[in-house]
Amino acid sequence: MNLYLMRHANAGLRRDSPALDAKRSLIKEGKDQCMLMARMLSALKVQVDVIVSSPLKRALQTAQFVGTELGYEAKVEVSQALAPNADFAAFQQLIEKYADHEDVLMVGHNPNLFQFLGRVITGNGGAGVRMRKGSIARIAMDKHPPLLQWLIDPRMARNIYASVAKSSRPKTSRK
């Protein structure tokens, strides 16, 4: 299985009240990050079989926007194992639940998402991997230990698109 872990896109400033914070929506920059990262996944020929999201609004919106752009037609599944207060055991059970799928996208939050990523690839939690808002990591779960194949954040994706848009041929004058 290829596991794609995505941190939710930008939802502005954190709210003091946990109830209000759970309902925080993506801001315009966050929606743009979703579109950019979905285009990046499309360019990499990623086709997900299932999308699972944290129940919080900003993660669910991220999952839905990315799924729509990828042409994903099924319903985004929601799991407490991706919520901000989730533990690694619940996350492992979630991975096992979808182990029979080829490509799975899971959308969650920091700090637990980067901690989960570190534990998955090292087996002991000895690594922490920084994931900016909107970042996506691809992990080959069939390797032992699982292998982090790539990690792309929206800043990197913008730079890649900008460099690809430029002509690769040197400019020469014609006389």
3-state SS of 138-163 is EEECCCCCCEEEEEECHHHHHHHHHH
Strand partners, 53: 78, 107
Alpha helices of the chain — where are they, by DSSP H?
18-22, 28-43, 57-70, 88-97, 112-122, 154-165
pLDDT at 47: 94
CATH level 3 topology of 2-161: Rossmann fold (3.40.50)
> Is this prediction's pTM over 0.85?
yes
pLDDT at 15: 87
pLDDT at 156: 92
The closest alpha carbon to 69, from 95, 103, 33, belongs to 33
Sign of CA dihedral 68, 70, 75, 77: negative
Secondary structure class of 24 (helix, strand, coil):
coil
What does DSSP say about strands 136-140 and 77-78: parallel, antiparallel, or unpaired? unpaired
pLDDT at 78: 97
pLDDT at 175: 52
The string of pLDDT tens digits covering residues 82-102 is 999 999 999 999 999 999 999
Counting as low any pLDDT under 70, the low residues of the chain are 125-126, 165-175
Mean pLDDT over the full length of the chain: 90
Give the residue carrying structure tokens 């999201």: 53
